[in-house]
Amino acid sequence: MARALYYLYRALLGAPATFLAWFRERWEKMDLFDESHVAEARTNPWFTLGGMWYWVWMLVIISGVVLMIYYVPVTDQAYHSIERIQFNWRWGPVPIGGMVRGLHKYGADAFIILATMRVYRMWFTGEYKQGNEFSFIIALLLLIVGMYSGLTGYLLIWNQRALWATKVMATFPTYLDQNPAWLPGGALINWTNQGKTTAQILLGGTSIGPATVTRFYAFHFMLSFIPMVFFELRVYRRGFKRMNLSHWSKLAVFGIILAIAIMVPAALGSPANPEVTPNPILSDWYFLAMYQFLKLQDPYLATVLTVSIPFLVLGSMFLDRRPERAWGQRQIFNWIGIGGLIYFVVFSFLILNGIADIHRDAPIWYYTMGLFLLIGYGQDWAYVMARDGKRWYQTFHGFFVAFILVAMSANTLYHYFGDIRERNILAKEAMPRVLAQLQAVNPAAISDQAFDWLEKNRPAMNLWLTSHTGPDKPPGMELWRVHVALWLLIIAAGTVVGLVRWGARQEALAQAAAAKAKPKAKAV
Amino acid sequence: MQENQRRLFLKTVTSLPILGGAVLAVSAILRYFKPTAMGGPAGLVAPPDQAGSADQPVAALSELTKPWDFKDFIYIRQSVEYSSRKVQGAKIPGFVVRLPDAQADPKDPKTKYLVVQRICPHLGCTFNFVKDPNELAGSYNYNPPAPTHPYFACPCHLSVYDPTRKQEAPLIGPLPGKVVSGPAPRPPRTMSFDIKDGQIVITGTEGGGVG
């Protein structure tokens, strides 16, 4: 342990220089739009995604500039100005307005599809390895920028979907003011009211008002245009070809988007009405899965998790440190990608059809998430065993598996035995019987009284108290505390063991270096 | 030597305004971290933010005679705004619900009425008053236990509130409208009201929420 700490200290001393060298190498290798994959693109269409992506981005910006001429970014005129652009599109005040708007909208959709496909290509082929981390980070960052540009874009129409998406989006940051007391610095952030201030900046006031659409217009423009300026600067300095794409391919992409724009005119929805939330109300397609995700849990947690998705992706990228890039040799990471894709598709499907059961489903999703990781880990375990010719117990990562198992059980228990009475499966099953007995005595008895009775007379059902403890309830054994303690224990033990092993490896390396250096010294 | 000192003087003289400008720019950013809207114990927005709003009558008692009669209304909440008008009116939708007599205190006529803001405390959509249990089960993913009664239900993320039951809201105390389904963290925001000349008159609102 002491040796390990010594090597850690030395590594920390050298960290700035190491980081600078690391950064420089990756900055040089950074690939923005597959411009360094010219040879691959000739035979493999997956490598034309970058060029197509950039081409679509240009189309969107050009059509957006045309729309700018006619669009009025003021809350009470936005919808009508778009109506004016969309209809009368042949002879009206805006020639081919509907077509240009369709090009803009479907171009933006294509941008997000291509960006997603490219991120997945890079993920599944391990393209971020061998010093290409920055290319992946840029690809992911541009996907997120594209999604936010899309969000701020569909808000500009100021129809019902836009209004309610704006409300949800502006309410999100207010949860920044509701950090739990145990979080370090949480109370300070709560005191400064960052969340409310951010919401006010987004809305241009304390509520949705005349300035709101103007603000979103500025955000939309900024998000779409500024990354392109940076990209053009890099093209100018490095002098590579912008789009690794033949003119015919460009024409084909343009033709497909234009054909869709003409055949399926971009939707307009009904004008925003702050008094009625339509039922159902849906976001644009790329946010549907996250929308469904929000229904399943506490909003503070949901906000934190939603914001941390990209960071989790980047974090797991940095965990994939082996040099292997072949499909069968990095199964955990494949399963992370497959899992993400499955959740995206299934959640979107569920919300579109309105068939999810939010009381039943959450533990299933948590379970499958752990299951994907365990399957991936099992395959990886087998691979490493075969690769290194070792026995099964020599390559087993007990801490990792324990961590996942604890996570799976925590979420399942939380959902099935939670103290919130209507969500507690045991209480829900027992309630009708209790109600029948109560009604035998008093015909006016209601379910609420049955739940009360259960709470008083069957305390075992509340053994697994989760988060809520009122004045009428003893704090008891709070499940999440037990699980957090278990987690921290596993993480601490894993860190110590890992550190000791790392120290031993450093020691061996140092000894090998010394043994190499010795004969040289003698020769001199 | 002389030369160097002159240089130093010139450099100092030119850098002072630049530094001053930098400090000003940074202070504008730092200002962002100074609280404006105060989140008091009740989540109420403190006076600097909330300009006084006049009392607004929203419903006549004659409209709310039977149990579970309800009326939706819009209350205009004024808040300070940096515009030529100085204030901006936010439309706060609300519900008045006539509760069954069993729920009310016979001595206090105000307890017969429940007045809440319709802005969902989850993520700000406007929730509905749903009387049909089949609609609750079909559209809001909640099967109310029998005997059933109307609920507040939000179409966005399917939060359902029970107007007959109370729930502890953090830092505020028990409020009517217990969350019985969905992700909402607390019961609906409240409005204070009086009964004057056979009218329900709104006298104030709880802060927070995007209007």
Residue B89 — pLDDT band, cuts 50, 70, 90? confident
* Residue whose tokens read 């953090």: B170
A61 inside domain: yes
| A 172-231 residues inside an 8 A Cβ radius of B | 172, 174, 177, 190-194, 196-197, 199-200, 203, 205-209
At position A406, the amino acid (one-letter code) is V
In sequence order, the 6+-apart residues with CB closer than 8 A to the CB of B48 are B36, B38, B80
B126/A276 CB distance under 8 A: yes
pLDDT at A520: 60
A115 inside domain: yes
Q: Which residue of B has its CA nearest to A354?
A: B139
**ipTM exceeds 0.90:** no
A311 inside domain: no
For an interface test with B, give the residue of A279, A306, A431 to mutate (most B CBs within 10 A).
A279
At position A119, the amino acid (one-letter code) is V
A357/B141 CB distance under 8 A: yes
A171 touches chain B (CB under 8 A): yes
A299/B185 CB distance under 8 A: yes
A485 inside domain: no
For an interface test with B, give the residue of A171, A192, A292 to mutate (most B CBs within 10 A).
A171
pLDDT at A35: 86
More confident residue, B101 or B52: B101
pLDDT tens, position by position, A375-420: 999 999 999 999 999 888 888 888 889 888 888 877 666 656 554 4
A358/B38 CB distance under 8 A: no
pLDDT at B47: 42
- CB A292 within 8 Å of CB A343: no
| A 426-445 residues inside an 8 A Cβ radius of B | 431, 435
pLDDT at A459: 55
In this complex, the residue of A168, A209, A468 whose CB is nearest that of residue B123 is: A168
A116-119 long-range CB contacts below 8 Å, 24 or more apart? Answer: A116/A143, A117/A46, A117/A49, A118/A34, A118/A49, A118/A50, A118/A53, A119/A143
- A145: alpha, beta or left, given left = phi > 0 and alpha = psi -120 to 50? alpha
Please tell me the total count of domains within chain A. 1
pLDDT at A465: 43
In this complex, the residue of A196, A279, A359 whose CB is nearest that of residue B37 is: A196
* Residue A70: domain span: 31-160+211-276
| A 367-426 residues inside an 8 A Cβ radius of B | 422
A190 inside domain: no
A247 inside domain: yes
Domain harbouring A86, CATH code: 1.20.810.10
pLDDT at A244: 81
Q: How far is CA A76 from CA A69, A161, A211, B67, in A?
A: 18, 15, 10, 39
Percent of chain B residues topping a pLDDT of 90 = 22
What is the rounded distance in angstroms from the CA atom of residue A264 to the CA atom of residue A85? 16
Q: At residue B36, what are phi and psi to the nearest 5 degrees?
A: -110, -65
In this complex, the residue of A171, A194, A446 whose CB is nearest that of residue B123 is: A171
pLDDT tens, position by position, B136-179: 888 888 888 777 889 999 998 889 999 988 887 877 788 899 88
A281/B122 CB distance under 8 A: no
A238 inside domain: yes
Please list the ranges in chain A whose pLDDT falls under 50: 419-421, 463-477
For an interface test with B, give the residue of A192, A277, A294, A447 to mutate (most B CBs within 10 A).
A277
A376 inside domain: no
- Examine the pLDDT at B208 and tell me if it is beyond 50: yes
A207/B34 CB distance under 8 A: no
